[in-house]
A and B are shown apart, each in its own frame.
Chain A
Amino acid sequence: DVKVTQSSRYLVKRTGEKVFLECVQDMDHENMFWYRQDPGLGLRLIYFSYDVKMKEKGDIPEGYSVSREKKERFSLILESASTNQTSMYLCASSSTYGYTFGSGTRLTVV
C-alpha cells in the first residue's frame, strides 16, 4: 500500500522556535507538496518541489522554507515559529495518476 508519512501527528512549539516538519513518500513520485489547512480557507499551497533540490513557492510561502535533498523526503521549515502558523499541515506527493496525502501534522505555536 502506497504511503505518504508525516513524522508527527501533533506538535506544540514555542514562538520563535525553529520547526521541522518531515514528509516521506514510498512511491518514487517526483512531485511533492506542502499545504496548510485552516477552517473556511481550505488547503493552501505553501511550497512544492518537482525534483530533488528543486523548489517553488506556492500561494503562501512567507515564513516558511523547504528542503528536498532526497527524492522521497520533503521537509517544511518554520525558521521562527509564530502563533499565526498554528494550523494543520498536509504533505502530498503526486504522479501522473494522482495525488496521495499524508495524515497531517497539527502544529500549535504557543
Chain B
Amino acid sequence: GQQLNQSPQSMFIQEGEDVSMNCTSSSIFNTWLWYKQDPGEGPVLLIALYKAGELTSNGRLTAQFGITRKDSFLNISASIPSDVGIYFCAGIFSGNTGKLIFGQGTTLQVKP
C-alpha cells in the first residue's frame, strides 16, 4: 500500500530544546495530519494541513504542508516533559474514500 516515510524514528532530547521531524511520500496528498499518541492511548490530532505551502501553528507546535504536497514537517519549540510520546504523520490522498495512511512514527523522549 501507500506509505509515508517518517524520520527520525526516535529522538532523545533535553527539556527546552526544539524538535523537528518530517514525512515524505512519493504520492501527492490532499491533506496532511500530525498526531500524538501518549502511552496506552489512541492518537490525538495535533495539526491538520489542507493547502500546499500551508504553515499552521498550535501553541508550541508548527507544521507545514510542502509545496509539492508530498511532504510535511512538524516542529516543537521549547520542549517540555509532557511532549513525550509517539508522533505520527498521516495523509489522505486524492481520490481516497477518506482513509488515512500513516508514517512509521517518531518516538520522542524528553530529559528534564
**Binary contact readout A79-110 vs B (1 if CB under 8 angstroms, 0 otherwise):** 00000000000101010001101111000000
Min CB distance, B91 to chain A, in Å? 12
Is B109 part of the binding interface, using a Cβ–Cβ cutoff of 8 Å?
A: no
Min CB distance, B56 to chain A, in Å? 14
Known contacts A50-B97, A58-B1, A103 near B40 by CB under 8 Å:
yes
Whether A56 pairs with B97 at a CB distance below 8 angstroms is: yes
* Dominant secondary structure at the A interface: strand
Bound Cα distance A58, B104 (Å): 17
Is A41 part of the binding interface, using a Cβ–Cβ cutoff of 8 Å?
A: yes
Q: Name B42's contact: one of A4, A40, A94 (CB within 8 Å).
A: A4
**Binary contact readout B1-19 vs A (1 if CB under 8 angstroms, 0 otherwise):** 1001010010000000000
Contacts of B60 in A (CB 8 A): none
Whether A48 pairs with B44 at a CB distance below 8 angstroms is: no
Is A59 part of the binding interface, using a Cβ–Cβ cutoff of 8 Å?
A: yes
Interface residue tally for chain B (C-beta within 8 Å): 23
Known contacts A31-B97, A40-B9, A50-B97, A104 near B42 by CB under 8 Å:
yes
Whether A103 pairs with B99 at a CB distance below 8 angstroms is: no
Whether A101 pairs with B42 at a CB distance below 8 angstroms is: yes
Contacts of B100 in A (CB 8 A): 33, 43, 45, 92, 99
Min CB distance, B88 to chain A, in Å? 6
Known contacts A42-B103, A103-B41, A104-B40, A94 near B98 by CB under 8 Å:
yes
Residues of A within 8 A of B (CB): 4, 9, 31, 33, 35, 40-45, 48, 50, 56, 58-59, 90, 92, 94, 98-99, 101-104
